[in-house]
Structure 1
Amino acid sequence: MKKGEVPQEGGYLEKARMTEVLYVTDENDRYTTEKSSGWDAKNSALDESMALIEERVQAAKTQVKNGTASPIHYFMEMNKMDWNVLAAYVGKWAWFVKADAKPKNFARLSDKNLQKYADAFGIPADELKNFDGN
């Protein structure tokens, strides 16, 4: 793609005040970079991905409200993490994290462990501990 042909069709990247860096060729056929605010195909894919993420977040929130999941699950989804990523952040095996995310186990977590999760999510431990899905 030539430098002057980079699409600037807006969409999700523009709404988030972000750009994507693409490799393009300049007038001397040398590779350089150019910023793009997106194009239709990319915008459609991003919109669909964000909608799926929002569905997962809302489902986790409902599960917390119903008492079938702990706040760990909600904040993990909210931060676009999976079990392995969260486990790496808190320094535990993924199966320990899954166990901690069960409501009964979550209620028994020590303040030290709650703080590890809160730090991973970038929130105060009290917010994590007291989140009820509302």
Structure 2
Amino acid sequence: MKKEEVPQDKSNLESANFKELCYAVDENGEYTTAHSTGWDPKTIALDNAIREIEERIAEAKQRVLNNETSPIEYYMELHKMDLSVLASYAGIWKWKVKRDFKPSVFKKLNSKTLQKYADIFGVTVEELKHVQ
């Protein structure tokens, strides 16, 4: 697209005074960079993705409060991780992390493992144990 055609639609970027760097073609037909405040289709897609993430966080929190899962799953969702990412950060197998989602297993985790999860999520062990 031509540099003067780079979209400048309203988006979340605009309200935060951020601009996205895009590639465009200048008046000489050369590739150059241009700033964009947003593009409606991209804004809609990002808004939908954020809404979906917020729903997953709320659902995980409710499952913790219902004693259907451990706080590890809630914090994983809150930090926009998936099972593979969390397992990688923790340095343990995915099946082990998934097993730690079980409330009965979570209650028996040793302090070293709890501290490892707390460090990953940037919370205290006490905060990890008690989702409000």
- 2:38 aligns with 38
- Counting matched residue pairs gives 132
- 2:119 aligns with 119
1:17 Cα deviation after fit: 5.0
Return the alpha-carbon distance in structure 2 between the equivalents of residues 122 and 102 of structure 1.
21
Alpha-carbon distance change, 16 to 94 in structure 1, aligned in 2, over 3 angstroms: farther
Q: TM-score, normalised by structure 1?
A: 0.89
- 2:9 aligns with 9
Structure 2: give runs of 5+ residues left out of the alignment. none
Return the alpha-carbon distance in structure 2 between the equivalents of residues 47 and 67 of structure 1.
30
Amino-acid identity (%): 52
Helix, strand or coil for the counterpart of 1:89? helix
Structure 1: give runs of 5+ residues left out of the alignment. none
1:122 Cα deviation after fit: 2.0
Return the alpha-carbon distance in structure 2 between the equivalents of residues 128 and 5 of structure 1.
49
After TM superposition, list the pairs within 5 Å mapping 1:36-75 onto structure 2. 36-75=36-75
Return the alpha-carbon distance in structure 2 between the equivalents of residues 58 and 115 of structure 1.
24
Q: TM-score, normalised by structure 2?
A: 0.90
1:32 Cα deviation after fit: 1.9
Return the alpha-carbon distance in structure 2 between the equivalents of residues 107 and 16 of structure 1.
42
Return the alpha-carbon distance in structure 1 between the equivalents of residues 28 and 62 of structure 2.
56
Per-residue CA distance 1:74-103 (angstroms, 9 max, x = gap): 111111111001100100111000001111
Structure 1 outlier segments of 4+, above 6 Å: none
Q: Within the alignment, does 1:79 sit opposite 2:72 as a pair?
A: no
- After superposition, the CA RMSD in angstroms is 1.6
Return the alpha-carbon distance in structure 2 between the equivalents of residues 106 and 18 of structure 1.
41
